[in-house]
Structure 1
């Protein structure tokens, strides 16, 4: 059994600052870091660090940055067989600013991610035989995401759509999703509903159901999440930690959720586990600073959260 991720692979240029500059203003920052990133790569890394077999289908530039990003994925035990090296576009880059509250702003230059074409998707899927879950986001071309979802459905795979970022979302992707995991901004973009509490999250979940997606996890950041399954729902509280860097928290959540799904756990249990993983991620700098299973177990024992662990994580 394995998980397939179709998504972006980026170099993250991360600047730390006490406060954001105002428009037209120049201020001094505190520190700059260069990390491996991209929603697809982040999610694949999360899956691998949590002990599952995972491959990524994506595209980098035929340059030193792309080479380094592939090496980083390989070091984290991600199968990189289906990563394309583009000769026409440079490796994607995210320029990220993090302030003293650990919140971030992000400018994404997609670069070679836009060179992941339908042909590349079809070629990869023709060789994939053992995958049970597909995890997708929206930082690569929409038509490539849709084609991957179509082919995954034909193979009987469970399709998880993390509809991020909001700017890249296409409604058509909902036609092929078994589960959708939007945050507040993405939910409002898709449904017009501003999720501020459990009631509005339920309204959004029901809206997604009418749009054809029966299962959803409506994420409300520090207010927790609502798990909705064909009319039944449950509220999952957030886990309070001291945040350092929120970049990649949603990707860690998505990767952990996919791990729970592939092991056959119910969605509520998988979301509880993903909540822990996402919380631990924000305590470290770097989008791919995902906790290992042993770190998750230690945290749960320390906080008295053993019921948040999946059986396979014990």
Structure 2
């Protein structure tokens, strides 16, 4: 069974610096990298590198960046048959600055991502029959995301909503989500709850339950996450690592979560595995280049004695 991802595809222009420039200030950085990115492409890449079949529905420009991004997806065995090349928009671009603490600021120019239409999704779904899970985010048009979720529910697929970025969230998407995986900023945007600890995370999970989403994973960064399902909850601790680049950590988490659910694991075990994948990702540069393989995750869990975070049945 495969996983379908609907989402953005970007070229990431990543500048590394010791400190962020202040408004109006010019400073010298350390180096610049041109890396494959976009939340949809990142999540599809995570699924592929973890050994699962995955197709991506998205849009790039008919330009050199678009060609490069499609090629990089194909290199890791992402099915790109439903990635369109827009003649009206340039490939999406993210301008990212990473400081010495590994934190990042990001300016996203959506470009061709805005040219992914509900009709594109409908055409793709006409040729799909084997997907068990749909994974969506909010960096493509809202109508397109909603249509994908509707079609997935008609096909009996499990729908994971990663409500990122906060600026793109539409409450209507909650109507079709089987599980939602917001971070602190996204939770605040949707509910007005500032998640600081387990108690406030539980408050948020119950808030989402009142809005119709009975399953949620409230992510608290270095403080771990709270997995809430059908009125029961469990805390999942974070894994301390030396961070190099946090870009794509949430996408790695989402892709790994989809893998766990596809394999039939419950939400808690899938979230633990996703935690290990996200932790290992931040130790490397690049939203996609830094995503670990399944073998790397297994070795990481074995070395750290984190058997509870591994999915032993995954091939």
User: Quick one: distance in 1 between partners of 2:302 and 2:197?
Assistant: 29
Who is 1:70 aligned against? 70
- Shift of the alpha carbon at 1:311? 2.2
- Shift of the alpha carbon at 1:267? 0.6
Q: Give CA-to-partner distance per residue, 1:209-231, whole Å, 9 cap, x none.
A: 00000000000000000000011
* Alpha-carbon contact 1:161-1:181 (below 8 Å) kept: yes
User: Quick one: distance in 2 between partners of 1:102 and 1:188?
Assistant: 23
- Shift of the alpha carbon at 1:76? 0.6
The answer as to 2:42 corresponding to 1:42 is yes
- Shift of the alpha carbon at 1:313? 3.4
User: Quick one: distance in 1 between partners of 2:113 and 2:245?
Assistant: 24
- Shift of the alpha carbon at 1:172? 0.2
Secondary structure of the residue aligned to 1:8 is: coil
Who is 2:231 aligned against? 231
User: Quick one: distance in 1 between partners of 2:107 and 2:64?
Assistant: 21
Who is 1:296 aligned against? 297
User: Quick one: distance in 1 between partners of 2:219 and 2:139?
Assistant: 19
User: Quick one: distance in 1 between partners of 2:15 and 2:310?
Assistant: 34
**Unaligned stretches of 5+ residues in structure 1:** none
Q: TM-score, normalised by structure 2?
A: 0.99
Who is 1:85 aligned against? 85
Secondary structure of the residue aligned to 1:159 is: strand
The answer as to 2:19 corresponding to 1:19 is yes
Who is 1:169 aligned against? 169
Q: How many pairs are equivalent?
A: 314
What are the residue-to-residue correspondences of 1:1-314 with 2, within 5 Å? 1-288=1-288, 289-313=290-314
User: Quick one: distance in 2 between partners of 1:186 and 1:75?
Assistant: 32
Q: Give CA-to-partner distance per residue, 1:122-176, whole Å, 9 cap, x none.
A: 0001111100100000000000000000000000000000000000000000000
* Alpha-carbon contact 2:263-2:314 (below 8 Å) kept: no
- Shift of the alpha carbon at 1:312? 2.1
User: Quick one: distance in 2 between partners of 1:126 and 1:236?
Assistant: 38
Q: Give CA-to-partner distance per residue, 1:9-46, whole Å, 9 cap, x none.
A: 00000000000000000000000000000000000000
* Alpha-carbon contact 2:138-2:163 (below 8 Å) kept: yes
Q: Give CA-to-partner distance per residue, 1:64-121, whole Å, 9 cap, x none.
A: 1000000000001000000011000000000000000000000000000000011101
Secondary structure of the residue aligned to 1:80 is: coil
* Alpha-carbon contact 1:47-1:53 (below 8 Å) kept: yes
User: Quick one: distance in 2 between partners of 1:209 and 1:281?
Assistant: 30
User: Quick one: distance in 1 between partners of 2:157 and 2:301?
Assistant: 31
User: Quick one: distance in 1 between partners of 2:85 and 2:294?
Assistant: 32
Secondary structure of the residue aligned to 1:185 is: helix
User: Quick one: distance in 1 between partners of 2:71 and 2:192?
Assistant: 41
* Alpha-carbon contact 1:297-1:313 (below 8 Å) kept: no
